[in-house]
Amino acid sequence: MEEIMTVKKVAARWRRGFTLIELLVVVLIIGILAAIAVPQYFQVMEKGRFAEALAYFQTLKGSQERYLLGGNGYANNTGLLDLPSVAFKHFTVAAPAAGPATWSITLTRGVSPCPGGNCYTVSYSGPAGNMACGGANATLCTPMLP
């Protein structure tokens, strides 16, 4: 008979639900995991957006080299290059600056106001391929440079 009462007590215990302490521990664990995971998630997302700039720089570099081989020097207008039509999702493009031996272009991340404070600029100088970050949030960009 005692064994039956114990089973009934255990069954009654599970029907009552969770205690406040158990719920607080679960909320605390979820909060700690979120504090670690959310910033990492946004950093990975920004790296993906930055890849858009890297791909454009490589395409532009090839187009500038082909234009140079035509004996025209470097182009200071992307309309003169054999670039595919590109619709940027995360950057705006400034007109390239070109001289007889070098060229450069700047992409700006974000528009005013900055989405989540993620505004920065990325500059690419060719033919050497030097890249630099600038702007108010250049620290977001610098770790992603190759």
SS3 annotation, the chain: CHHHHHHHHHHHHHHHCCCHHHHHHHHHHHHHHHHHHHHHHHHHHHHHHHHHHHHHHHHHHHHHHHHHHHHHCCCCCHHHCCCCCCCCCCEEECCCEECCCCEEEEEEECCCCCHHHCCEEEEEEECCCEEEEECCCHHHHHHHCC
120 bridge partner residues: 109
Q: Kindly indicate the confidence band of residue 122, based on its pLDDT and cuts at 50, 70 and 90.
A: very high
Out of 23-32, 40-49, 114-123, give the one with best mean pLDDT.
Answer: 23-32
Q: Kindly indicate the confidence band of residue 1, based on its pLDDT and cuts at 50, 70 and 90.
A: low
What pLDDT shows up at residue 131? 92
Q: Give me the number of domains the chain comprises.
A: 1
Residue range of the domain that includes 34: 2-144
d(CA 123, CA 102): 13
Global model pTM greater than 0.75: no
Share of the chain above pLDDT 90, in %: 32
Rounded mean pLDDT, 12-39? 88
